[in-house]
Amino acid sequence: MEFSLTTLGTSSASPNPLRHTSCHVVTAREHHFLIDCGEGCQMQLQRASIPFSWIDNIFISHLHGDHLFGIFGLLSTMSMQGRTAPLYIYAPEGFAAILDFFMKQFADGVLFEIVFTPLGMKGKEVILDLRTVEVSAFPLNHRVPTFGFLFREKEPQRNVHKWRVEADDLTLAEIGALKNGQDVMRENGDVLEVGKYTYIPWQPRSLAYCCDTAPFDGLAGWIEGVDLLYHDATYADDKAEMAVKYYHSTGRMAAETALAARAGRLVLGHFSARYRNLDQLLEEARSVFPDTAVANDGQKYEIPLVKLSR
């Protein structure tokens, strides 16, 4: 039951020989979600051995080119590969005009439906509710309407303690009710409490994507307790004024957000091309939040499954 982030493009503004522009894949159980679609996304998906057919949902954080320029190519290739399954795209409202242009100019032969959901929320909202995973979106602090995404595994069905089944002679109906989180009252008045008779087999996992953004009050609360946070770290401390000017973050600012959110791990990304060596950004972030890593193209960050005590 994999839950992971694969960072396929970690550069800001434009690609360079070491890094592509923003594109990432979140694998959550049986689902593969594409976040952003910068130039070269198709090639990066292939290098990571992620078939295009696996992608049913695309989340575009905002309408800057380094997060979007790969979308026409990806949609066209999906069509050439004979895709028929619907594709769902979540993006700021302005994406409607971009999609309309694609459909008018390049969509001959497209056999699949493209379902566009505009993003315009002022707080955190669930935008996709699946059987095992839900996805929320929330506004970020950038120069244009920009949104972050929170991927959260749903709580698994509870297990009944095996020793309780025999000790209390539980019926199938009682076991079913307890597994569904319901207390059971027997005819004699005894109450079988869910908390005593069942346990959650594993801790639900979560992952947040916050890029591009400057720090702001409220973000930490929306992603509180997240297991893995991918955050904008465009600049080092010596360029903090540029971060403020262009509504980005430094590595230290990202770390402060991770600390305030009580995140499990922090992964820095969206680096300015001026940094070929990222040691400075990493050191500055780790001085605030030690469990920090810098993202590299093609790298996978897995969130382990933590089984809970019976």
Annotated catalytic residues are 66
Q: Is 291 left (phi over 0), alpha (psi -120 to 50) or beta?
A: beta
How many CB atoms are closer than 10 A to CB 274?
11
Structure tokens belonging to residue 269: 């990304």
Q: How distant is the alpha carbon of residue 118 from its chain centre?
A: 18
Kindly report whether the peptide bond that precedes residue 212 is cis, defined as omega within 30 degrees of 0: yes
CA atoms within 13 A on the CB side of 167: 8
How many CB atoms are closer than 10 A to CB 186?
11
DSSP 30: T
d(CA 182, CA 192): 9
> With contact defined as beta carbons under 8 Å apart, do 23 and 282 qualify?
no
What is 100-155 written as a DSSP string? HHHHHHH-TT--S-EEEEEE--SS-EEEEE-SSEEEEEEE--SSS--EEEEEEEPP
